Structure 1
Amino acid sequence: MSLTAFLHSRHGRGFASRARIEAHHAAAFRRFRAQVMPRSPFYRGMADLPLEALPRMDKARLMAHFSAINTCGIDRDRAMQIAIRAEASRDFRPLIGDVSVGLSTGTSGQRGLFLATPRERRLWAAIMLGRYWPELWRRQRVAFFMRADNALYRSLSNALVRFAFFDLLSPFEAHLPRLAELNPSVLIAPARILALLAERQAAGGLALAPRRVISVAETLSPEDAALIERAFGIRVDQVYQATEGVLAMTCRLGHLHLNERWLRIDRDVIDRATGAFCPIVHDFTRESLPILNYRLDDVLIPDPEPCPCGCASQRIARIEGREDDMLWWTSATGPRLVTSEAIRTAIACLPQALRDYRVIQRGAVLHLWLDGAAWGTEAALRTGLAAMARRLGCTLPELAFHHGLPPETGAKRRRIRVEPETPVSR
């Protein structure tokens, strides 16, 4: 299985048609209902149900039924204790038997557990190494920046791969000497960390020469992608991975595709004009903790154009963000989705470039935080946003401008978000 996964990721061109994808999913679900669902106390009585008739899952429901859903006989409270102890001690080595346990908070702040058996860890490593290993004949040095380590990630290590974990809870500056000594051939980090490293590289404070740069865990904005690519001289790849699985990866041409070889992803469309949807995930590789009919609150924008790489798996134009962070403005026909791309375009047209920004909607007021030399361009931004609202046929909310950046509210950076109404200092 792992060798097949490696070869598919390395040399496969993907499915040639939608019909082949659907046939592959049907066969995968037949195997899953016969071999995996009977081992789950929660699902064993549902193995004859159609996929869409299974209970709709989200993080809260998965955690509420965790002990019955998983096939390893692992108690949720015990797993949570081990995961919290690892988070507190920053020692992520303890396992339950041979099963690794991880804790995810996500952008919503809600805690979720995930499991990975040795087989699942090998499969994940085979997919990642097959797709992103620069040269098979050279030993690779992988720098991995993440909030928490896990045996799943350390499964990348082998005789040809030196894997180094960089803890995001440690001070950024403390990582730089070790990173320079490692001089990674593969650099994996959230977009904001890659942007910080790119700024340091451009200023001459680093001299890294990675062969692969991979953005994970956060939405990669066009401005961050451009900064990173200029600094390191190579394209940025993306891996869209959640607790629920690896949902999408960039192809050999750099376009993001849903990971339909290993998952079936249905759509809960929230905006017909753009096709924006929340993914409903069915993962046929996750046997320890079955993920079936699981709705994520991420919003994806599909790309209707076929990819020149030849793979028929759905292309994704961009990961828009959390459903709760979507901007809905009033229009004559009802609420209208205002995409992050529309906001970024208005900001990109300013006469002075923004170093960074935040757009936060609180009630009927849109707060704009401007960092760097662009302070003083409020009138131009107001004009640009008003023109954008007219094109979309909606009403521009009241605008409030602020200097600098607001405090971050979570572990992941969200440049555009929605928050409850609270007083804001000017």
Structure 2
Amino acid sequence: MSLKAFLKTRYGNGLRSRAAIENHHQRAFVRFRSNVMPRSPFYADYANTALSALPRMNKQKLMDHFSAINTCGIDREKAFDIAIQAEQSRDFSPMIGDVSVGLSTGTSGQRGLFLATPRERRLWAAILAGRFWPNLAKPQRVAFFMRADNALYRTLGNPLLRFEFFDLLDPLEKHLSRLQDLSPTVLIAPASILKILADAQNVGQIAVSPRRIISVAETLSPEDRNIAKQAFGRQIDEVYQATEGVLAFTCPAGNLHLNEAWMRIERDIIDPQSGAFCPIIHDFTRQSLLLLNYRLNDVLIPDPSPCPCGSACTRIARIEGREDDALWWHGPTGRKMVSADAIRTTIACLPSPITDYRVIEKNNQLTVWLDGAAPTSETELHHAFSSLAARLDVTVPPLTIRHGLPHETDFKRRRIRIETSP
């Protein structure tokens, strides 16, 4: 673990102004251009190019040029072989030299690779431990629920920290007794799993009292946050991490901030009214697989109000989800974005409560699945969506309401999404 990064994250005053953030980025990129970019066959000739003039990257382009972009001399096909074999065998220990390799499907379903050198693994562990380690004076027990393990995650383990991986490809019921025996002080899991564990806690299947609860991998909706908070009696922290690294995490005041101490994140605005944007990443800490001028298709909603924690790093009101899953309804002046938050709030405020839901738009038609709904819920939903559309001056697409939940093969559950025809 990087002691300097740990101390900086846990005890540092942080970046208190935008000017301080800009100066920090400029200094970091001077070193990065000199020490790292020349080691990448792809970026060597771009070392003196302005960030905005670098080739625009996304997941597909990064994978297309993987062998030339990474500085470790790792061939893409060999890396895929290692990662896929690990997924199939569920043995995630093999590495290429000392570089860990992971497979990511992401919310788009498009597979990708990530690399982590020992230095990068130590830095990742230092940042997260610095922010979320409950008590430095006591040993900790971490329960980590995820689709795949990796040496990156196990870097958190040390003599004071017992790290246990819970494989989400195994039946969740299999994990409950093991979780109870571990009695974790830190619980890390996707939002959908936190909800299931909260339900298990509420009915007495488990009785655990973690000091920290951290949501990862999925968008944490307000309803899931409240369910988990009430079940475990703890504030729910959030780490917004993708294949591309840790992009944001909650501060001590409980608000989500972009990780601008370790990367530069610019905005590609997709909805001027709300300020919704897709992040463009320039990571000056990643030395294995370089991420420069890299655009994600996640949609973030900024919060311009200052945070009580004092950090000037961009505050995020919420993560909407994928750009491809933003709902756009037609109105007199053209299409308008209907935020996931507006849909969630509308459903949450229905007079008759429901257990769960899915909102799926396909071929300009809307299907809403209601689980555990009352007989009156259909009429209530029609009225609620009509009121929402009137408020936004748009028209609700043709709407079908079904009961239960659809069959889902996507590991990262998304309650609101767009589907395309095969």
TM-score of the superposed pair, with normalisation by structure 1: 0.98
Q: Distance in 2 between matches of 1:231 and 1:349?
A: 21
Q: CA deviation at 1:409?
A: 3.5
- For 1:35-184, list aligned pairs within 5 A: 35-184=35-184
Q: CA deviation at 1:374?
A: 3.5
For the 8 Å contact 1:13–1:309, the answer to whether it is kept is no
For the 8 Å contact 2:325–2:416, the answer to whether it is kept is yes
For the 8 Å contact 2:116–2:152, the answer to whether it is kept is yes
- For 1:26-37, list aligned pairs within 5 A: 26-37=26-37
SS of residue matched to 1:292: coil
SS of residue matched to 2:293: strand
Q: Distance in 1 between matches of 2:376 and 2:109?
A: 35
Aligned residue number for residue 311 of structure 2: 311
For the 8 Å contact 2:140–2:161, the answer to whether it is kept is yes
- RMSD between aligned residues: 1.0
Aligned residue number for residue 217 of structure 1: 217
SS of residue matched to 1:67: helix
* Unmatched 5+ stretches in structure 1: none
Q: Distance in 2 between matches of 1:249 and 1:220?
A: 12
* Unmatched 5+ stretches in structure 2: none
Q: CA deviation at 1:267?
A: 0.6
Q: Distance in 1 between matches of 2:285 and 2:50?
A: 18
Q: Distance in 1 between matches of 2:348 and 2:113?
A: 39
- For 1:27-426, list aligned pairs within 5 A: 27-421=27-421
Q: Distance in 2 between matches of 1:368 and 1:95?
A: 44
Q: CA deviation at 1:354?
A: 1.4
Q: Distance in 2 between matches of 1:289 and 1:364?
A: 38
For the 8 Å contact 1:14–1:311, the answer to whether it is kept is yes
Q: Distance in 2 between matches of 1:255 and 1:363?
A: 37
Q: CA deviation at 1:13?
A: 3.3
Q: CA deviation at 1:279?
A: 0.4
For the 8 Å contact 2:154–2:163, the answer to whether it is kept is yes
Alignment CA distance shift 1:127-1:389 (3 Å): same
Q: CA deviation at 1:393?
A: 1.1
SS of residue matched to 2:278: strand
Q: Distance in 2 between matches of 1:221 and 1:14?
A: 28
Q: CA deviation at 1:149?
A: 0.4
For the 8 Å contact 2:373–2:403, the answer to whether it is kept is no
Q: Distance in 2 between matches of 1:144 and 1:189?
A: 6
Moved more, 376-385 or 61-70: 376-385
1:247-271 deviation line (CA, Å, top 9, x unaligned): 0000001100000000100111000
Identical-residue share of aligned pairs (%) = 66
1:162-215 deviation line (CA, Å, top 9, x unaligned): 000000111111111111110100000000000000000011111000000000
Amino acid aligned to 1:305:
S
For the 8 Å contact 2:328–2:335, the answer to whether it is kept is yes
Q: Distance in 2 between matches of 1:188 and 1:295?
A: 27
> How many equivalent pairs are there?
422
TM-score of the superposed pair, with normalisation by structure 2: 0.99
Alignment CA distance shift 1:294-1:352 (3 Å): same
For the 8 Å contact 1:257–1:316, the answer to whether it is kept is yes
Q: Distance in 2 between matches of 1:346 and 1:93?
A: 45
Amino acid aligned to 1:330:
H
For the 8 Å contact 2:352–2:376, the answer to whether it is kept is no
Q: Distance in 1 between matches of 2:178 and 2:56?
A: 45
Q: Distance in 1 between matches of 2:300 and 2:222?
A: 16
1:232-257 deviation line (CA, Å, top 9, x unaligned): 00000000000011000000011000
For the 8 Å contact 2:299–2:320, the answer to whether it is kept is yes
Q: Distance in 1 between matches of 2:341 and 2:375?
A: 21
Moved more, 389-398 or 321-330: 389-398
1:44-67 deviation line (CA, Å, top 9, x unaligned): 010010011110001111111111
1:14-71 deviation line (CA, Å, top 9, x unaligned): 2110010011011111111000000000000100100111100011111111111000
Amino acid aligned to 1:45:
D
1:403-424 deviation line (CA, Å, top 9, x unaligned): 00001131100000011258xx
Q: CA deviation at 1:375?
A: 4.6
1:338-369 deviation line (CA, Å, top 9, x unaligned): 00111111111111211100000112211110
For the 8 Å contact 2:32–2:284, the answer to whether it is kept is yes
SS of residue matched to 2:224: helix
SS of residue matched to 1:264: strand
Q: Distance in 1 between matches of 2:149 and 2:289?
A: 19
Q: Distance in 2 between matches of 1:181 and 1:397?
A: 50
Aligned residue number for residue 17 of structure 1: 17
1:358-414 deviation line (CA, Å, top 9, x unaligned): 000112211110001445311111111111111111111111000000011311000
Q: CA deviation at 1:108?
A: 0.8
Amino acid aligned to 1:306:
P
Q: Distance in 2 between matches of 1:245 and 1:60?
A: 17
For the 8 Å contact 1:331–1:393, the answer to whether it is kept is yes
Q: Distance in 2 between matches of 1:303 and 1:383?
A: 30
1:125-162 deviation line (CA, Å, top 9, x unaligned): 00010000000000000000011000000000000000
